[in-house]
Amino acid sequence: MLLHIDSSADATADSVSRRLTADFVRVWRERHGTAEYRHRDLAAAPVPPLTAAYTTLGRRVERQGFVPPSKVPALIEGPAEQREWDLTLPLITELRSAHTVLLGVPMYNFSVPASLKAWIDRVTFPGAFADPDTGESLLGGTRVVAVMARGGGYGPGTPRESFDFQTPYLKAWWGNLGVAPGHLHLIAAELTRVDVLPHLAGLEHLARQSLAAAREQVRTLAAA
């Protein structure tokens, strides 16, 4: 299954991350035909932020040794915890079922959008992605393609390289969940706001090159 997640607040054609994830999906569908596909738009249908009931239930689960999701209902106490689990389990199930995860990730204030962070917080439930017998990650074979769009330039050697908290965050989170380094693909289109930010004037050619390179990477990975 391909799980396609968009997190840009901009639902129009101005969204570079949405255009690039759409490119991936088009190529993927040409290759895989009727294979299962799911799209989750975190801007159109936001994931609710965590409440105290979620953290209370999570701690109770941790004390039991990270039980699998199928055994969590037996540990739920009260309607508030049940509501949190009902909001969480479908997201965990989607992610566990995916062979490929496609993320559209614009850079907001040097990191990921709040909509994506809310999804990350909710699916990162204790024990959700660990084999209960071996402790090994269930996502070891999952492929992740994160398409990042940045209004400025944050690549290696640029003055704002150290301002990029998007790339290391995604690497750390997916790695901590057990996704193999060779299965995590981070693609960045930079200088996407060159047409509206005066201080980027003169960098139009670099923006075009970055977008073209990102599009090529996206299509290559979709066809793989």
pLDDT digit string (tens) for 117-155?
Answer: 999 999 999 999 999 888 899 999 999 999 999 989 998
Yes or no: say if 148 and 17 are a contact pair by the CB < 8 Å rule.
yes
Strand segments, DSSP code E, in the chain are 2-6, 37-41, 100-106, 143-149, 184-189
108 annotated as belonging to a binding site for a ligand = yes
SS3 163: helix
Q: Which tens digits make up the pLDDT trace of 37-96? A: 999 999 999 999 999 999 999 999 999 987 899 999 999 999 999 999 999 999 999 999
Is residue 70 a known part of a binding site? no
109 has binding-site annotation: yes
- Residue 176 annotated as lining a ligand binding site: no
Confidence of residue 4 (pLDDT cuts 50, 70, 90): very high
Q: Place 157 in a pLDDT band, splitting at 50, 70 and 90.
A: confident
1 among the known binding-site residues? no
Average pLDDT of the residues in 148-174 = 94
Residue 97 assigned to a binding site: no
Written as six digits, the tokens of 215 are 């599009």
Domains of the chain: 2-223 (3.40.50.360)
pLDDT digits (tens, 9 = 90+) for 5-22: 999 999 877 899 999 999
How long a stretch of residues is the chain? 224
